[in-house]
Amino acid sequence: GLGDVYKRQALLQTYSTLEANLDPKFIELLPSLEFGIDSHTEILPTLLEIVKSYSLILNSREFFSFPTFINIFNQLSKYFLKLRDDSFELLLEIWENLTLVSSTDTEASLFESFHESGVLRAILDSVFKEESLSNYQCSQVIQIAARVAYLNPQILIDFIAVYHQELPNFAENQDLPIAERKAVVKEMSLDEIVNKFLTIWIVCFKEIYDPKVKKVHILGISSLLRTGLYPVLSEFQVIVSMWVEMLEEINETNEGDCEKYHLNDLVTDMSPEYPLTSEQIRYHELCRKNDPAHNVGLKSFVTQTLQFLENQMGAQYQELLNSVNASLVENLQLFLGISTQK
């Protein structure tokens, strides 16, 4: 109604002052954001744009110190897959920003808040739908899991374990309407569920063509190797082939960046036709400084992952390498500049 229109204008006016800095008025307006989301208004994308601004300004602990945001996520994660495309993508961007503004000291609180606000459950529910999503949409959702796995692989597995405990059993699952049925049930072991998760992830990965996004997924799935879990180690050959394919395709700087990772940047050296908002510039800065896709070298990441596995596995490490196609291992060693021991 008209009230909504005024509210929207008021929000947008205040929103533009957010560009300067966090205005105390802005904090007072937070509950009205929730109102907009509760009443499923047409302005959801606008409201989410506002939440997105916050996700770029606050670190993740500050962000989640506002109950409004936890309530909004709880609300939206309930009908996450029913959101219109624009709102769906905005929500994923917000969640991804929060993983980027997270630092080692706010990590624990980030994961706790992701759990508490239903974010991780929404992600796993989406991935484990019996009526599976398109590979592209599924890869967008798994990208958040990839970000979490890179920050802390064990935490992602712990979440899957908690999720496992809350799954319906086989009979309950059969009774659910088809749209709500899951591809996993309580009777399965945790290993089987992790295996299912990786199988879906690997299929979706094949549909990713943007080199930067590919790298984000590779960093995430490879980090899971550190958990030493059998279902992850059993996909070692697939992960090695991801590494080799990626190393063939890109040529990173020593810092880990590459021109191909900037194909979709809004901020470029070419002056854009429209001046960028300070928010777009802020996002660009955040990525430049905090996104491992731009500042973690793939070669050194792979080398460290292999060293970690060798230290952890001892004699079994050689067996793991032997399980991989020999020419693949040779290619990998060439890229990493390791001489092959004969």
Question: Do residues 317 and 309 touch, judged by C-beta distance below 8 A?
Answer: yes
Question: Do residues 111 and 104 touch, judged by C-beta distance below 8 A?
Answer: no
Amino acid identity of 90?
Answer: L
Query: Shortest CA distance to 221 belongs to which of 246, 196, 201, 191?
Result: 201
Average pLDDT score over residue span 4-28: 53
pLDDT tens for residues 89-109? 999 999 999 998 877 677 788
Place of tokens 């509950």: 31
Q: What percent of the chain has pLDDT over 90?
A: 54
Query: Shortest CA distance to 138 belongs to which of 200, 211, 221?
Result: 200
In DSSP notation, 270-317 reads SPPSSPPPHHHHHHHHHHHHH-HHHHS-HHHHHHHHHHHHHHHHTTHH
Gyration radius (Cα) of the chain, Å: 22
Q: What is the mean pLDDT of the chain?
A: 85
**The pLDDT of residue 177:** 95
In DSSP notation, 232-281 reads HHTTHHHHHHHHHHHHHH----TTS--GGGGTT-SS-SSPPSSPPPHHHH
Q: Is the pTM of this model over 0.75?
A: yes
Look at residue 264 and tell me whether its pLDDT is greater than 80: no
Average pLDDT score over residue span 218-236: 96
Q: How far apart are CA 52 and CA 47, in angstroms?
A: 9
**The pLDDT of residue 259:** 75
Of the pLDDT bands very low, low, confident and very high (cuts 50, 70, 90), residue 135 is very high
From start to end of the chain, where are the E strands?
A: none
65: helix, strand or coil: coil
**The pLDDT of residue 282:** 74
191: helix, strand or coil: helix
182: helix, strand or coil: strand
Average pLDDT score over residue span 150-158: 94
Look at residue 67 and tell me whether its pLDDT is greater than 80: yes
**The pLDDT of residue 136:** 94
Of the pLDDT bands very low, low, confident and very high (cuts 50, 70, 90), residue 62 is confident
Amino acid identity of 101?
Answer: V
Other beta carbons within 10 angstroms of residue 136's beta carbon come to: 11
Average pLDDT score over residue span 42-46: 81
Q: Give the DSSP letter of residue 133.
A: P
